[in-house]
Amino acid sequence: MIRKKTLLLVAVLLIGTVCITGCTINLGTPASTPAPIPVPTTVQTVSQTTITAQPTTVPVTTSLITTTATTASTEKEILHDEGILTTKTYKTYDFKTVMGYKFLYPKDKFRIIIKSEKPVLGYALSTTQAGQLQGSQLIPRYQTYQTDVDWGLIEPVMVIEKATDTTKEFTLEDVGPLTYVVDGRWMGYDSSYDNTPPFTYEITIVKTGGPTQQNFDFAGLESEETLVSRTKSPEPLPDSN
């Protein structure tokens, strides 16, 4: 009886042990969770771009300016006149009263232009001597034995011979008050000009340089000549009878 109870007890203990053992069976290390497969991450690399500011080219319009050295002209027309002459007359133009030059000096320069229907003489002489031209002694003429003008006592400068359409340049060498003359009297001594009717002429005088300045404001004017040309005829020769 006791043996049965012992076997029964052993059996119960055995069963209990099995049950307990079954409940505590080490199931082992649980299966490892597979590591997640890394998802490749595409990282877009943005390369650093250096932006260099380009200089802006602004079209520039360049105007070429040509500078020409301008020299002020010193030329000045100081006389222009037209008139009528005969083979017995002349006309004078005082540089002082007509043209504004009381005295002329060395290196004063002039251009003289004479146009005439008949050949005339143009010349300058001292103003004092010009006042003596009305006499019969101071008449320029051509002699048959020479080709140049026989001036007699006349001391001329700036001479133009037999001018019909003539232009000449002159530079003075001496100081003095001068008068310019247009003279047709020489033809009175040349028979080929007998019976020549009155003819027209034109004279222009241009001062082209020199130290003397034009001025009409002269103190103590010695004469009362008007600013016009004067026409003179030679005095008649005394009657020989």
Global pTM exceeds 0.85: no
pLDDT at position 147, please?
A: 85
> Mind listing the pLDDT tens digit for each residue in 115-149?
999 999 999 999 999 999 988 889 999 988 888 89
Distances (CA, A) of 181 to 25, 36, 81, 127: 162, 133, 12, 10
pLDDT at position 146, please?
A: 81
When the pLDDT of each residue in the chain is averaged and rounded to a whole number, the result is 78
DSSP H or E run through 182: strand 178-183
Confidence of residue 61 (pLDDT cuts 50, 70, 90): low
| Four-residue CA torsion sign, 22, 24, 28, 30 | positive
Architecture in CATH of 76-218: Sandwich (2.60)
85 closest CA partner among 227, 161, 186: 186
* CA–CA distance, 231 with 198 (Å, rounded to integer): 13
| Four-residue CA torsion sign, 152, 176, 159, 200 | negative
Q: What is the DSSP code string of 20-71?
A: HHHHT----SPPPPPPPPPPPP-----PPPP-PPPPP----PPP-PPPPP-P
71 closest CA partner among 209, 224, 239, 227: 209
pLDDT at position 221, please?
A: 45
pLDDT at position 49, please?
A: 52
- The CA-CA-CA angle for residues 227, 233, 239, to 5°, reads 150
Most confident of 29-38, 140-149, 153-162, 222-231: 153-162
